[in-house]
């Protein structure tokens, strides 16, 4: 991944005044999002289950952090409340936190399946539910980070596919439900990225086929800066060298 925390030059103010909570914000795409959105003038709350990493990223970006588990209802509710208490409002929720288990159906442990589903799908549901009353006040936005795994499938990833297909379904359902309330909801289907999520688990992967997470973060920023009259329900962001997608 690119060095997303080396400096914080304010090169634009496209998101000036916006308050954004990024879950899974301490590494990978989450760290890239935290950097890009802060650079664009937003006030970012870096949320992550890893306390030390979250506060390290926040310190480098001169913003705030909160450590919490997205799959815990009380912690999710408090994260939303603490973000509003810290910044006075909430404009954007980015459901980015995710996890995986790579093994066959025969081998997958029930507890691991539950962990993946609770983090990847139950977490976005919880945070969206608790965020919506605040987003109504700001005509806000929800960004759900899905994956190309929500459109295709490969072996030994049943829990991950089930969760990401679910995130895509949840996102479209919320788009239909919340659009009349002036809340925009977008699913971002990201192709392979050079992040620890892939590189730590698949050390032999061809990194030339992966994209910089900063590129996906910039795509998210573009969604957030669309005119008020326009909503993008779904966007797919692929590496140019993606070999398993047409």
Contact 188, 237 (CB under 8 A): yes
**Which candidate in 87, 122, 130, 160 is catalytic?**
160
Give phi and psi for 99, each to the nearest 5.
-145, 175
> Token match 């990833």: residue?
157
Tell me if residue 165 is catalytic: no
What residues have CB less than 8 Å from 44, skipping those under 6 apart?
Answer: 20, 21, 22, 25, 34, 37, 38, 61, 63, 64
CA separation for the pair 160, 150 (Å, rounded): 9
Sign of the alpha-carbon dihedral angle for 234, 124, 126, 5:
negative
Residue with structure tokens 């990024």?
22
Q: Which of the residues are catalytic?
A: 160
């Amino acid at each position: 991944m690119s060095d997303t925390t080396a400096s914080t030059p304010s090169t634009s103010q496209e998101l000036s005044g916006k308050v954004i909570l990024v879950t899974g914000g301490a590494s990978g795409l989450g760290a890239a999002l935290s950097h890009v959105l802060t650079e664009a003038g937003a006030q970012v709350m870096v949320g992550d289950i890893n306390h030390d990493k979250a506060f390290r990223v926040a310190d480098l970006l001169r913003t705030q952090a909160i450590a919490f588990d997205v799959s815990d209802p009380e912690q999710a509710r408090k994260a939303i409340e603490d973000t509003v208490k810290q910044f006075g409002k909430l404009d954007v929720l980015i459901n980015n936190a995710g996890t995986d288990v790579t093994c066959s159906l025969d081998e997958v442990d029930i507890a691991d399946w539950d962990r993946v589903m609770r983090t990847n799908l139950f977490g976005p549901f919880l945070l969206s539910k608790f965020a919506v009353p605040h987003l109504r006040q700001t005509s806000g936005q929800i960004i759900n980070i899905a994956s190309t795994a929500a459109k295709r499938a490969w072996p030994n990833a049943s829990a991950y596919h089930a969760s990401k297909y679910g995130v895509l379904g949840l996102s479209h359902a919320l788009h239909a439900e919340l659009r009349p309330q002036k809340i925009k909801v977008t699913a971002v289907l990201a192709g392979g990225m050079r992040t620890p999520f892939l590189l730590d688990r698949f050390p032999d992967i061809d990194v030339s086929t992966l994209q910089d997470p900063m590129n996906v973060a910039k795509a998210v920023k573009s969604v957030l800066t669309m005119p008020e009259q326009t909503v993008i329900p779904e966007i797919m962001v692929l590496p140019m060298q993606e070999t398993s997608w047409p």
